[in-house]
Structure 1
Amino acid sequence: MTQKKSNITLQSLIHILQQAGREIVLPGFHTSIQTTQKTDGSVVTEIDLACQQFIEKKLTELDSSIAFLGEEMSESEQLQCLKESHGRYWCLDPLDGTTNFVANVPGFAISLALIESGVPQMACIYDPVRQETFSAARHAGAHLNNQAIRCAPVANLDESVGYIDFKRLQRDTAISMACDRIYRSQRNIGSCALEWAWLAAGRGHFIVHGGEKIWDFAAGSLLVQEAGGRIGDFSGQSLFPCHALSSPILATCNPTLQAKLQAKLNPG
């Protein structure tokens, strides 16, 4: 039997996300939309659900043999995908930054990764407001609107600007990171996907997060790696392959910052 040739290319993924942003996400921005609070306290809207449904359908048309893991699935479905996908699955956040979206803050994105053999192989993050498309393929570099990007060259921690989510850090760690003045400044823009994409594009120097979901970091982690950055958890362990839905995140623009921040976050 002749095996059907896959239609998957990085450009095909870019096209799907741009279409979803143009036809579903942006038309819902600055409008009155229904929201529901999930068990973890985050919100979901009809736009999240419609965007996931649209993208899942398009991905199935590309290759129906690849499993699908989306943020708006049930937790049991997500865990089943991790367990039974045999290392090959799509990982989608259909609207990362939903709270921003609902509050009319223009900081949200669509994030998609293709994971094979336990690690991301292709990634795309699309910012429909700025019409910025961040993309990467393993061993082929990272790009913004088809132009190559690299992480910033900053090596000194006291000159760095980082993305820190204090509320998901342990209390003592949050106090230490807030008060010890080891970096120049910090931001939290309310979209993990954009923070990863911006780190890869040289807009900031590190990310510290106490617990991102796999759909928050799957695409962005490949972007940062392909842009020359470093990724891991607080203890220096690899983020992939994933056996759980969430992980602490430490990502930086270079090995020097990675080592310094890891020592701060994991002093034992």
Structure 2
Amino acid sequence: MLPSLEMLRDILRTAAREELLPLFADVRRHIKHDGSVVTEADVAMQRRLEADLARHWPEYDFLGEEMSGHEHEQLTAASGRGLWCVDPLDGTSNYAAGIPFFAVSLALVIDERPELGLVYDPVRDECFMARRGDGARLNDVALGAQEPVLPQELRRCIACVDFKRLNAPLAARLGAQPPYGSQRNFGASSLEWCWLADGRFHLYLHGGQKLWDYAAGCLIMAEAGGRAATAEGEEIFHHGLAPRSVVAAATPVLFSAWKSWIDCHWGADHV
């Protein structure tokens, strides 16, 4: 029997309210070896979730973004046990700067695929969650792509594009001759997956996400009816540490057009 989504939501909500919100925009930041930002809130939230999850479900291992690279390798190489995959604070730069777009991401990976996914936004008190094969929800409301309501053509779409991780020719072409109507970049991958699932934007492009960036979000988006693949045409989820590119859309129709446009202009090796 898998853990209850409702119980997991309550754990995330309580932890985020006690560990993240009190320090929002008033926290010390540090630079990690890879150039990314980490704060005391990242570390405190990870410790809190590791303890809370172990207390209720000791049978599962725990992988958190703020663990060492050696620990990441050990945990992703292990087999036979379920694995919590956690980003305790996705959007740390936003959080430290006082920008209200950050989230906690939690996935339960069993047999090298995500079975449960939750992404909690404590600012808006929005919890996106999904169980494989059982659909996705935002709090208690079912998510599902409304194709008659969403745009049917790329030129009418809002796209979320992370330009920082694209190569220069691709980024320049998208900036100069975009196929979509307008573009955004929010800075928290797990929450971007969920906003795509909810139709708040329609297309998504990212040059490289880590396991904890996409593990929960890609399940939520898929269960809401969206489609995604890497730029090379592979499934997004991979039980490993190598970054994965993302090409995604809120509906299969938009995904087909978006992926074809990218392939036609540059090919997958340009992402």
Range into which the TM-score falls when normalised by the shorter chain: over 0.9
Alignment partners' CA distance in 1, 2:262 and 2:77:
30
Q: Could you tell me which residue of structure 1 aligns to residue 10 of structure 2?
A: 15
Q: Which residue of the other structure, out of 16, 25, 29, is the alignment partner of 1:30?
A: 25
**More displaced, 152-161 or 137-146?**
152-161
Alignment partners' CA distance in 1, 2:146 and 2:13:
26
CA contact (8 A) 1:200 1:227 kept: yes
Relative distance call for 1:170 and 1:86 in structure 2 (3 A) is farther
Match of 2:94, SS state, is helix
CA contact (8 A) 1:7 1:62 kept: no
Alignment partners' CA distance in 2, 1:34 and 1:164:
28
Q: Could you tell me which residue of structure 1 aligns to residue 228 of structure 2?
A: 231
Alignment partners' CA distance in 2, 1:243 and 1:27:
34
Aligned-pair CA distance for 1:151: 2.9
Which deviations, in whole Å up to 9, do the C-alpha atoms of 1:163-219 show, x marking residues without a partner? 100010111111122222200011001111221111111111021000011111111
Q: Which residue of the other structure, out of 94, 99, 107, is the alignment partner of 2:101?
A: 107
CA contact (8 A) 2:249 2:255 kept: yes
- Give ranges in structure 2 of 5+ residues lacking alignment: none
Q: Which residue of the other structure, out of 136, 139, 144, is the alignment partner of 1:145?
A: 139
Alignment partners' CA distance in 2, 1:69 and 1:115:
10
Alignment partners' CA distance in 1, 2:53 and 2:6:
13
1:232 is matched by which residue type in structure 2?
A: A
Aligned-pair CA distance for 1:259: 2.1
- Give ranges in structure 1 of 5+ residues lacking alignment: 1-5
Q: TM-score, length-normalised on structure 1?
A: 0.93
Is 1:215 matched up with 2:209? no
Alignment partners' CA distance in 2, 1:85 and 1:51:
26
Is 1:125 matched up with 2:119? yes
**More displaced, 134-143 or 44-53?**
134-143
Alignment partners' CA distance in 1, 2:81 and 2:208:
22
2:221 is matched by which residue type in structure 1?
A: V
1:1-268 matched pairs, under 5 angstroms: 8-31=3-26, 33-86=27-80, 88-153=82-147, 154-267=151-264, 268=267
Match of 1:92, SS state, is strand
Alignment partners' CA distance in 2, 1:78 and 1:188:
28
Q: How many residues align?
A: 262
Percent of aligned positions with the same letter in both sequences?
Answer: 41
Q: TM-score, length-normalised on structure 2?
A: 0.92
